[in-house]
Amino acid sequence: MSYDLAQRLIEVRARAARLRSEAFIDYEPMVCGVRLRPVTLATYNRLLAFESPFVTGGPVDLEALAVFVWLHHPDFSQHGTRARRRVLRRVHRALFPRWPRLNALLLAVSTLPRFRWLRPLTSATEQQRHTEAAGEIRRLLDEALHDYPSPGSSEEDAEKVKRQSDAPPIAFQASILNTFRRALDIPYAETEALPLKRLIQLYREVIYTSTGGKGLSLMRREEAAIWSEHLGRKNAAAATTTPQS
């Protein structure tokens, strides 16, 4: 194992250890100024059911932002109409400046050297607020799903996982539920309510124990990519070496 390969693996594994420790720290994410519950398997399934662009792809609009906030709000319920309206009003206020035309005018004027003092009187534009909220939601989902087990260690498998990182298949979710019920005797409802980031770490531990620590599926996609690159270089070098007679 070359020094470059060893050093890169050490760095990747150190980052993985830190992220896995953070998975067991309780936290309340905030989007659009609203405190939410962490992403869980249940809320993720609801995002899939509502065909949220955050998991299925596509443009993100106001409705997609509002749906994500409502699904992860502590007051969420199927028939919570009044609470839903209250939350959606808060989202709307957070995404739109109070006086958009005046704000846009002040922003334009404040770009002039003589009127830079107007900048503190301005606020973020509608587009900036949408971009910030969407970016935070993507970060939360990526953080929650980032460490779910890879199906293999080849470059093709690593790229497949990367493409699916925003939307694990239903079979994966069913596997988690059945594994927890069978191995840990945890009811489906409790499993679905666990923060997804923490749930994936517990799932990895169950796989690790059941395979005696030899499961290739425990390899992170970053680590798999490094190994794939290293093996690719070795194969290329071997192919270009002329056999000596």
**Helix crossing, 41-49 with 170-179: angle to 10°?**
150
Model confidence band, residue 120 (pLDDT cutoffs 50, 70, 90): confident
Averaged pLDDT for residues 13-41: 85
- The 10s digit of each residue's pLDDT in 196-230 is 988 888 888 787 777 665 554 566 667 667 766 76
Assess contact for 69 and 75: CB atoms under 8 A. no
pLDDT at residue 70 tops 90: yes
CA 165 to each of CA 56, 73, 187: distance values in angstroms, whole numbers, following the listed order = 11, 24, 26
Residue type, 194: L
The model scores a pTM over 0.75: no
Q: What is the pLDDT of residues 80-100, one digit of tens each?
A: 899 999 999 999 989 888 777
For residue 83, what is the enclosing H or E element?
helix 81-95
Q: What is the pLDDT of residue 75?
A: 92
Average pLDDT, the chain: 78
Confidence bin at 122 (pLDDT 50/70/90) = low
- Name the E strands within the chain: 30-31, 34-35
Q: How many CB atoms lie within 10 A of CB 224?
A: 23
Residue with more model confidence, 152 or 15: 15
Phi, psi of 76 (to 5 degrees): -60, 135
Q: Which tokens hold the place of 107?
A: 């922003």
In sequence order, the 6+-apart residues with CB closer than 8 A to the CB of 125 are: 97, 100, 103, 104, 107
